[in-house]
Amino acid sequence: MATQLNLPIGVQAFGKIRTGGFYYVDKTPYLHQLIDEGSYYFLSRPRRFGKSLLLDTLKELFEANEPLFRGLYIHDRWDWQTRHPVIRLSFADGVMGSRQALDQHIEELLREHSERLGITLSNESIQGRFRELITGTHQQRGQRVVVLIDEYDKPILDNITDAVVARELREGLKNLYSVLKDADPHLKFCLLTGVSKFSKVSLFSGLNNLRDITLSRDYGAICGYTDEDIDTVFAPELPGLDRDQIRHWYNGYRWGDERLPSVYNPFDVLLLFQEREFRPYWFESATPTFLVKLLAERGLYTPRLDTLETEAALLGRFDVDEIATEALLFQTGYLTVHKVEQPMTGYWLYTLGYPNREVEASLNQALLPALGMPRAAQQRITLFRALQAHDLPALETHFKALFAGLPHDWYRNNPIAQYEGHYASVFYSHLAALGLAITVEDAGNTGRVDMTVDFNGHIYLFEFKVVEQVPEGKALRQLQDKGYADKYRGQGKPIHLIGVEFSREQRQIIAFDVLSL
């Protein structure tokens, strides 16, 4: 059996990992291919996905620190006699709330690198000093320069709810990145990483040779851990943990079509191995409040989040003045690619959905107050107890009380309260927040049932209808007539058909019809 090593939680220094007895998943095959194929790259990945470690690995590679790479894929495929100077700029630390603070941070970075590399900077402007640093380093060292930029977009994202400040910071970063356009004769390699993908026009104007590998099938697993990594590299950590639950809770991120291997967020997996408990480690580490606020303002129909269709162009439509909902959820890691289609030449269609149980449960928990449930935590306990006891009358009582308690102001102020979808959103998000195995629009031979819940040995099939003031029994009849239960009969579990009817005028559940099979 393999020996247990140290868990690299929060360790972003490649040298420390390689010399400190830490687990390491070899990403150098991707780096070898990346360097072999080109010179200018952009990569977007959610937070805590290993982007900083990736950049540090590149730094050590170009600086030819050969001992660190012994035993790795790239060791026998690299020229260790050539050392390239590296300029690494990071915006990961601190919050810059003004253009002045951003410029000061950039000045400090440039000064630090100029002193380390022994380059005298005489220009006064930021772009002039950055250009001078690159050209001077090339001339002095005799080798072209490597530029690595970590969290290139963080200053903007930290201020995204203040459009005026965000635009000022965007212009400040654009001023810096514009230098790369004419620095080609002096650059060996360049990689910018961040969470979001701002349009080239707004931030990388003129940098036409920058290849975006975010959705490239060749680099889908350049960050994160695959199933194979979990089963081999981390094999000593697996005893005592349910392997299927690890997969359901933390796997599922994909940046390409469904044929690509999905990956785990490293932060989740490492914390799981340390704590030995299934918890939403990644979600709890830093959920942006602006995300929940924006989703609430737009009145998102939450049951559709697991089957959200979008065009490829919308996934990259992210800017201070225009943030597409699809792009926001995808780039921040709350949705991932489930399916890619090309229905006609040049037209790409993406189906997005939750990557795993952790994100589905946690995001819906965060959205519940915006759906009119400020006491969501206490209400979830009542819901859980009813399901745990398979007490269907208690479940009916609970949901009727839940809808009766929705504030009147919520109906008046929330965009989706005008439409039928808000009833299903409240119902679904309340259940999803428990981390249950839920399928929305569950397809069978005769159609799609609105929602299926598989919990504690029982299967619950829900159908929702909005009717006038008198219960009509339509929801339960549809469940029966369509034979939605047929696909589950072979599992040997009790099946409960539940038809839920809402009155638009009364804003309440007026029918909760149950048939147990």
> What is the set of domains in the chain, with CATH numbers?
26-219 (3.40.50.300), 227-353 (no CATH), 357-516 (3.40.1350)
- Mean pLDDT of the 446-465 span: 91
- Cα-flanking dihedrals φ and ψ of residue 61, to 5°? -70, -50
Nearest to 96 by CA among 43, 12, 152: 152
Q: 3-class SS at 289?
A: helix
For 74, list phi and psi in degrees, rounded to 5.
-80, -10
Rounded CA-CA distance 202/318 in Å is 10
**Which residues make Cβ contacts (< 8 Å) with residue 492, sequence separation at least 6?**
none
pLDDT digits (tens, 9 = 90+) for 340-375: 998 889 888 999 999 999 999 999 998 888 777 877
Q: What are phi and psi of 123, to 5 degrees?
A: -70, 155
Residue type at 486 in one-letter notation: D
User: What percentage of the chain has pLDDT greater than the value 90?
Assistant: 67
Q: What is the pLDDT of residue 125?
A: 96
pLDDT at 22 over 60: yes
More confident position, 122 or 472: 122
Distances from the Cα of 443 to the Cα of 305, 309, 439, 456, angstroms: 16, 17, 9, 22
Measured distance CA(46)–CA(82) in Å, rounded: 33
- Rounded Cα distance, 187 and 177, in Å: 13
Band the pLDDT of 413: cuts 50, 70, 90: low
**Cross-strand bridge partners of residue 310:** 350
Joined tokens for residue 454: 């598989």
Q: How far apart are CA 146 and CA 33, in angstroms?
A: 16
- Helices assigned H by DSSP within 63-162: 99-117, 126-141, 154-157
**Nearest one of 12, 9, 51 to 223, comparing CA atoms:** 51
**Does the pLDDT at position 288 exceed 70?**
no
SS3 277: coil
Residue owning tokens 């080798």: 143
Per residue in 200-250, pLDDT (tens digit) is 667 777 677 889 999 998 999 999 999 999 999 999 999 999 999 999 999
Exposure b/e, 61-81, CB count within 10 A at least 16 = b: bbeeeeebbeebebeeebeee
Least confident span in 183-192, 395-404, 502-511: 502-511
Q: Is the pLDDT of residue 499 over 80?
A: yes
Distance in angstroms (rounded) separating the CA atoms of residues 450 and 438: 11
Question: Angle formed by the axes of helices 392-404 and 421-432, to 10°?
Answer: 120
DSSP label at residue 22: B
H or E element: which one contains 407? none
Q: Both tokens of residue 125?
A: 């402007």
Taking residue 4's Cβ as centre, other Cβ atoms within 10 Å add up to 13
Structure token pair of residue 381: 């306990």
Nearest to 352 by CA among 447, 215, 197: 215
d(CA 152, CA 173): 8
| 291 pLDDT tier (thresholds 50, 70, 90) | confident
d(CA 62, CA 32): 11
Question: What is the C-alpha to C-alpha distance for residues 259 and 263, in angstroms, rounded to an integer?
Answer: 12
Question: First and final CA of the chain: distance in angstroms?
Answer: 48
Judge whether 246 and 273 are in contact, CB under 8 Å: no
Q: For residue 280, what are the β-bridge partners? A: none
The label of the residue with tokens 């008046």 reads 412
pTM reported for the whole predicted model: 0.91
Q: Which residues pair with 454 in a beta bridge?
A: 437, 459
DSSP type of residue 75: G
- DSSP classification of residue 4: P
